[in-house]
Structure 1
Amino acid sequence: MATTDKPTDNKEGALQTLLEYQAILDNASLGITFTRDRAFLHCNERFSEMFGWTSKELIGQPTSIAYPSLEDYQDLGDIAEQTLGTGKRMDIELLMKRRDGSTFWCRMMANAIDPHDHSKGTIFITEDITERRAASDAIRQLLLEQQAILANAHIGIAFVKQDRIITCNQHLEQIYGYQPDELINASFSKLLQTVDSFEPELEIASDIAKGGSFIREVRQKKKDGTLFWCSITANLVDQSALENGAVWLLDDISERKQAQDSLMQARLELELRVQQRTAELANSNLQLQHEIQVRQLAEEHIRHLANHDALTGLPNRRLLEDRLEHALGHARRNQNMVAVKFIDLDRFKEVNDKLGHRIGDILLQTVANRLRSLLREIDTISRIGGDEFILVLTDMSSEQHVLETAEKILHSLSQPYFIEQHTLSTTPSIGIAIYPQDGDNPEQLMSRADIAMYQVKKKGRKGYHLFREGDQA
């Protein structure tokens, strides 16, 4: 009996092994196929799904059906013959064709069963890399666009981190008289050592900490020692982390300075001649100029006060409604979304009651600065009174985009505030209304954003809520 059962056992064991191998192939995340004489002999489920066929339908089919054209098929055949014939593995990215005629990017890896005998067949492993290629192409295009901007900018641009020039454009090298790439990794502070020397990182940190921008006009020195006037502007990559570096803009303004000096000299000479001829007329003219300047400043100040919050400098309700009206008009023309966010600071009254209105005012100014750093220039931030802010976000692509922005605002405004040796904590309650689904005019959108904000308050504060029809009840 033992001798009779043994072949059966071997046969069953081989069948079991074959089934296990098939299960492994069908559950693999990559497409796997075995070809011989340029025809499909076997493939796993992933391979057939990738090309839009069933496994049985592919068996016996010529491998050329998976290629966009006969020329593409022949080109790959030439590459495969040169690579696989030497015993190497072929690894290539190319366009392949599905059953319905559509194409997709595919990474193909192949190994010959026997490099010296092609008749024994070839194993192909394939991966659909269409999304990865699209992402890579998008990144490459963005990089090319940024490089083009830097290359064609008529102003020197440098990215500096920890006093080292990480990258700069050609115009900056030309301004200072250096060869291409000669400034890369050079000390930025040494480059700026001039007659009017200063310490760039310390001064930019000081200016940014005061809530201002870093702008200087100083005399600089070229590589050959020539002095020139330079306008220098800097912006931190991260307002809260100096170590993350800054973008510096530098421009040779020598001609402008010379013109200003010439103009100033001509003006002085003219004033001297006028004074010599008639001192009374000169004094009257100076008085008139002064009055005009005072009036212009007063008018500008009045216009600013009429449209901006005196404490934070943000647009007030009047300017907010005007900008929201424009944003809605733009959205109607371009079929985009506009998000209106109503923000109320939780427990802000406790800060005023415990520490006084001065500390409360500083906190409101700090909140305004954080909001400015989070949003784009095309967006509008408005303080409409007390601790209430309204944001208008234009050109929003989707509701998810709106929620992602709300999450960033929630996280930023929930961080501690360090004001005059006080560590303060406040969180935002954010109500959101979206055009066109929640309304088509400023009053309706702001009202519904306000209603949505109160839903956050009811749930315990610190959060955001999209307006829903049931909220009005």
Structure 2
Amino acid sequence: MKLDQIIADFPAVSSDAIAVGYRGPGDPTGTMIYVNDAYTRIFGFQREAILGGPVEITNDPDYWDDFLAEVVPKFAAGERNFTIETGCIRADGSKLWASLSFFVVPDPETGGRYTTAVYRDISDLRRRELSAEDALQERERLYSRLEGSQSRLIAAINTIPDPFAIFNKNGMIRTWNAAYSKLMCDDADAIYDGMAHEEIMQVAIELGRIPEDSAAAYKWFFDAPPDEPGPREPMKQEAIAGRRYQVYRSSAPNGDVVILRVDVTELSSREEEVKRYAERLERVNADIEYKATHDELTGLGNRRYLELALDAAREARAQKGCEIAVLNIDLDRFKQINDTMGHKAGDHVLEVVAERLRSIFRKDDAIARIGGDEFLAVVLSNTGSVLPEAIAQRVVTSLGRPVMFEGRPCRFGASVGIASTPLADEAELLVNSDVALFEAKNRGRARIATFSAAMLHRMQENKRLADDILRALDANEFVPVYQPQVAAKDRALVGFETLARWQHPERGLLGPHVFLGVADDLGVVGEIDRIIFEKALSECNEAFGGLERPPKLSFNVSSPRIMDDTILQVSDWLKTYPGEVAFELLESIFFEEEAEEFWYRLDALRELGIGFEMDDFGSGRASLIALMQIGPTRLKIDGRLIAPIPQSKESRDLVQAIVEIGRSLNTGITAEGVETEEQADLLTRMGCDTLQGYFFGKPQPLSGNAHLLPRGTRLGARRSGT
């Protein structure tokens, strides 16, 4: 068996990391003889650094002993194909969790063996498994607290002077007090947890504590139908020494049976007391069960209640063929209420929300509060029914009304995510409703979204992209590119429009359409703008700082970015570049709806020396009044208006009208999207003083624009000759 044959079976183009090792007869360890590109990319090792070295270079030392304990017996047993999971380590010391598939091929020529290992990164799966373990530990902690409550209950039970015991639905004793042990036997240890009721009766009969014919009568403890919980009529039973006891039995909804034996020899004086005593026990039992499944503040169900409701819904679906919908309800702006009006106001809002939800959902629907301001509801409906969506709309409408607290309105709203079978698997309803809620909140406040597979895929892709963007910010991968702007008359370079690009290590240079939306969700657009601004000014100062008239630099900014206080920090960087700097405002901004603060901010930036240019003019909403209020230094005509001017008189007339508007406002005119010499000549004759487009150069790094210097180069001529 040759190495070429093995490589042919495991192609180097695989996205999984693949390594081949060889171990000769008598060799203590194997030697690395081949790795694919994915291996070097995933683990960060240079190929020449690891070939010829030990095969265990990527094994995490923390898991080495476990690794050996798992694979050595398999090799010794002659297994040729098996898969394990283990920890691995990269060249930079970072760790991952991988699935390793081994393929062993003996070499009859040498007596050695080739071993191929296919590594697959399953770190995300590992983290989810660990998260699940954390959830189980949290559940165990909750059970521990519940057991503490039960211990206190048992301590209270032991103070009861009368014999008391609790049996489960199978007749096994679970809780009893000392008086019960003393009544039934001589040795308190003779009764143990899980002991059958019949065995206890037999011990009591053998000791003469109860008559022999009494055991059969005690079957009435457990013969009640399971759907009839509650107390039964008491039964009198003869005991030793001629004393009589009245035996009470009460069954809980979960099937537990509570048995209380009361000495009723002086029944005439104690009968009422015994009756009240049994009733109190019943209330305690119901109270304990209620508190275990309900939220203390709102009285709605809690997580345990929700689990039970989902179990019941699954059973109903299996029996009746209905569908299950989970509505994930999250309050909008609730945090602001807590922060500005206090937690008492927040608690009041939650109580009112609970009441409104009770009035909206049906009696058989289950509603639970599972977090501070998050609620879940389980709804059963017929296949194809729009009932879940209709209920969700009522929830959004109802919770959109303010709640009064101490004479002040608390304004909030609600977003709802819906996941329903059969589109969503029963086991994934909660997770999928959370995905839908995330989608609803992304659309804005007071929105409803219904889960779809595409939604989950989109969320996963956006999560990966968001992680990559944050990594790219740390790695300083966002860079400026520059599209030249030339004087219309002599085609001399007069400026650049500066644009953001992502220099991705694997995908190359990416435009803003790839990352801008997710970056906005992350709240890092301002950080990217700052990086582009600072890098551009630094690069251009180094390139053009010595010129008498350095090229003007313009940057695209949005209305929210204008209002971001950090934008005023540009003043420090403006000092580093001697040329003009301008911000391009999109005409799609609703200028008439902007607050006074927006106009104050424009004035503050103008005082710093920044000019304003109206971008994509002719395609947006800016009125002439808004133009006069902005006072732009330049209008940039949308490229979509430029393309048809050689063939269309209407287009030429429209562009000419924009030029005349610019002249009346005493602003410069830049034509964008110029792609031909004919367009450039027409625009020059029409009065545009600056031209920009692919005819003069695509957006590219500054080094790609070096041919445009020195100042005065005719870019059109240069381009047409290359």
The answer to whether the superposition gives a TM-score over 0.5 is no
TM-score (normalizing by structure 2): 0.29
Higher RCO, 1 vs 2 (CA within 8 Å, ≥6 residues apart): 1
Indicate the structure (1 or 2) with the bigger Cα radius of gyration. Answer: 2
